[in-house]
A and B are shown apart, each in its own frame.
Chain A
Amino acid sequence: MSAVPLARQHPVRAMVDFYVTAMRTQVQTQFQYRAAAYMYLVGMVAEPVIYLVVWTTIAKQQGGEVQGITVGQFAAYYIVWTLVRNMNIVFTPYGWEWRIREGQFSAALLRPLHPIHYDIAEFAGGKLIWVVLYLPIAAGLTLIFDPDLSVTPLEVCVFFVAIWGAYLIRTMLLWLLGMVTFWTTRGSAIFETYIMAELLLSGRLVPLKLMPEWTQSVADFLPFQWAFYFPIQTLVGDLPAGELLGGLGMQVLWIAVGSFLVWICFRASVSKYSAVGN
């Protein structure tokens, strides 16, 4: 008696199955190490709290606002910032360095799907737990810093889509950066340059409105703000519907550009691959 071949699934359905399973596995893994995830979150929350305290101090000294942004609005900006940051943490170039050096990538290359799907699915699963763990911290920050935030249902909907857009944009960007490690195991200088550029041009450091005008003009031509400033602004910026939808359009554009570049660069990079270890 011969074995019955497995029924061939529709490719889309197979992909959905893969994503759901990979995300579910990650949810369970992350939940197991929730104490570690919490400690990581505490370290991460330090960054926005510092910015918030500095700008709140300045605002209070200036009579309650800096360039039209009030103390309560700063608080809203940085509390939403933290949620967006939670969402746009992705597999880092340092992780790439490790997986190339240790030969971990060999197994990933043997699998039937493009390796980026594994990263996207696993981190997306982790997000679900991280966001749940972040909620009590957000409640604490809200009690302490008293944010000034009023949102409409449309803003909430756009925000929900925009944080996933931010996640995908940053995944593409850091994948492109990570692929540098196919050529060199000392990419850290390049990574740091990227992080610094992102810090200044994305709204991560301060609302872009507070940066010099020429910096804002430069930022308009770069993808960084669509992974930080725009998702935050969807909730705190009181943007008109046109701008909200236009922003989502820009995110789609940058995801498409990023995906195309990842596709091209991956084909070129993978031929360079030789694991240093293993």
Chain B
Amino acid sequence: MRPVRVAWTFLRLGAINELQYRLNFFVAAFQSLLAVAVALVVLRLVYSHTTELNGWSEPELMCVLGIQILLGGVIRAAIQPNMERIVDEVRDGKLDHALTKPEDSQLLVSVREFRIWRTVDVISGGAVLGVGLARLEASVGAGEALSFAGLLLVGGVLIYCFWLVLATGAFWIVHMWFLAELFEGVYATGRWPIGIYPGWLRYSLTWLIPIGFAITVPAEAVTSRLEWTTPLLALAFAAALFLVTRWFWRFGLRRYSGASA
């Protein structure tokens, strides 16, 4: 339970810190609404030229979009700020402050930052998903809802692992200013079901960069497309990637020597 307690303490601290800047909430809410509006305009534009995209109807794609925005909120609130801090601190030699604490280093570097205002994307993504679900012809049963929630959680773990692998790269490549742009670019592919991409890209987006597992698979759960083997595969993949990530973090850590501390 100790890791959960540590994470919870940092989460509360981060929230208290950000709550001081209330104007930022309105800025974040405005940006989120704008992003959702544009995404919906793009969706409308696409469906003004077709009735279905590779077998996905407009409400179904709204579900994919909602999940992508929702998960994006979680990433920007809790994952990305921590990972960018790792990269910065490796470069500045400040990572020592985390490494000398009597707690698991991977846990500490993963929970130190929490940007509460960015969770507005979770709400707006949830709303888009809700509207998409309401417009679906078939209803979503309890089992589907449960597997959706579970798969979304697995998706979050996969994205976390992917980000940590990227951030660990800072032990070798110090000049990593491109990380956020690289991730944003790749993450945008999740706005569309990965089935539309050509084979090589589809495989990359499933196994190399786990966008497919993180977004398309939960969307399959709520649109009644899920095969029973997929959740098992997702779970096994997440467990394996988590172990590999943990090994890679420790491996990278051996290369670290505080540059300025």
Q: Which residues of A contact B (CB under 8 A)?
A: 33, 35-37, 39-40, 42-47, 49-50, 53-54, 57-58, 61-62, 66-67, 144, 186, 188-189, 192-193, 196, 199-200, 205-206, 210-211
* A57 and B49 contact, Cβ closer than 8 Å, known pairs A36-B173, A144-B198: no
Which residues of the other chain, A, contact B185 by a CB distance below 8 angstroms?
42-47
* A36 and B23 contact, Cβ closer than 8 Å, known pairs A42-B185, A50-B188, A57-B53: no
Top 4 A-B pairs ranked by shortest CB distance? A43-B185, A46-B185, A43-B182, A40-B178
Which residues of the other chain, A, contact B183 by a CB distance below 8 angstroms?
43
Q: Does B31 contact A (CB under 8 A)?
A: yes
Return the contact of B35 from the options A37, A44, A58, A192 (Cβ within 8 A).
A192
Q: How close is A122's CB to chain B, nearest CB, in angstroms? A: 15
Q: Does B197 contact A (CB under 8 A)?
A: yes
Q: Does B30 contact A (CB under 8 A)?
A: yes
Do A36 and B178 have beta carbons less than 8 Å apart? yes
Q: Of all chain A residues, which has the CB nearest B23?
A: A186
Stretch at the interface among B38-46, B69-77, B90-98, B231-239: B38-46
Classify the secondary structure of A's interface with B. helix
Which residues of the other chain, B, contact A39 by a CB distance below 8 angstroms?
178-179, 182
In the bound assembly, the distance between CA atoms of A236 and B31 in angstroms comes to: 34
How big is chain B's contact interface, by range? 35 or more
In the bound assembly, the distance between CA atoms of A193 and B30 in angstroms comes to: 9
* A36 and B177 contact, Cβ closer than 8 Å, known pairs A42-B182, A46-B189, A192-B31: yes
Q: How close is B181's CB to chain A, nearest CB, in angstroms? A: 4
Do A44 and B50 have beta carbons less than 8 Å apart? no
Do B31 and A189 have beta carbons less than 8 Å apart? yes
Which residues of the other chain, B, contact A49 by a CB distance below 8 angstroms?
189, 201
In the bound assembly, the distance between CA atoms of A194 and B169 in angstroms comes to: 33
In the bound assembly, the distance between CA atoms of A24 and B52 in angstroms comes to: 51
In the bound assembly, the distance between CA atoms of A61 and B198 in angstroms comes to: 15
In the bound assembly, the distance between CA atoms of A49 and B188 in angstroms comes to: 11
In the bound assembly, the distance between CA atoms of A67 and B50 in angstroms comes to: 11
Q: In chain B between 166 and 185, which residues have their CB closer than 8 angstroms to a CB of chain A?
A: 173, 175-179, 181-185
Do A58 and B46 have beta carbons less than 8 Å apart? yes
Q: In chain B between 46 and 101, which residues have their CB closer than 8 angstroms to a CB of chain A?
A: 46, 49-50, 52-54
Q: Given A37-B178, A47-B185, A211-B45, 15 other A-B contacts at CB below 8 A?
A: A36-B177, A36-B178, A39-B178, A40-B177, A43-B181, A43-B185, A47-B188, A49-B201, A53-B201, A57-B53, A58-B50, A61-B50, A67-B49, A192-B35, A205-B45
Do B31 and A188 have beta carbons less than 8 Å apart? yes
Do B31 and A210 have beta carbons less than 8 Å apart? no
In the bound assembly, the distance between CA atoms of A225 and B171 in angstroms comes to: 42
Which residues of the other chain, A, contact B50 by a CB distance below 8 angstroms?
58, 61-62
Q: Of all chain B residues, which has the CB nearest A197?
A: B38
